[in-house]
Chains A and B, each alone.
Chain A
Amino acid sequence: QAHLLQSGTEVKKPGASVQVSCKASGYPFIDHYIRWVRQAPGQGPEWMAWISPRTGDTRSAPKFQGRVTLTRDTSSSMVYMDLSRLTSDDTAVYYCARQSEDTAMDVWGQGTTVIVTS
Chain B
Amino acid sequence: VLTQTPLSSPVTLGQPASISCRSDRSLVHIDGNTYLSWLHQRPGQPPRLLISKISTRFSGVPDRFSGSGTGTDFTLNISRVEAEDVGVYYCTQATFFPLTFGGGTKVEIK
Contacts and interface: CB of A to CB of B under 8 A. Distances in A.
A44 interface: yes
Interface stretch (B13-21, B52-60, B70-78, B79-87): B52-60
A61 B94 CA distance: 12
Nearest to B36: A104
B48 interface: yes
A45 B35 contact: no
A45 B48 contact: no
Contact of A104 (B53, B102, B103): B53
Nearest to A62: B98
Interface string A78-118: 00000000000000000101001011111011110000000
Contacts of B98: 47, 61-62
Given A44-B90, A47-B99, A62-B98, A104 B58 contact: yes
Say which size band chain B's interface belongs to: 20 to 34
Interface string B38-70: 010000001111001100101000000000000
B94 A108 contact: no
Contact of A108 (B37, B47, B100): B47
Contact of B37 (A35, A62, A104, A110): A104
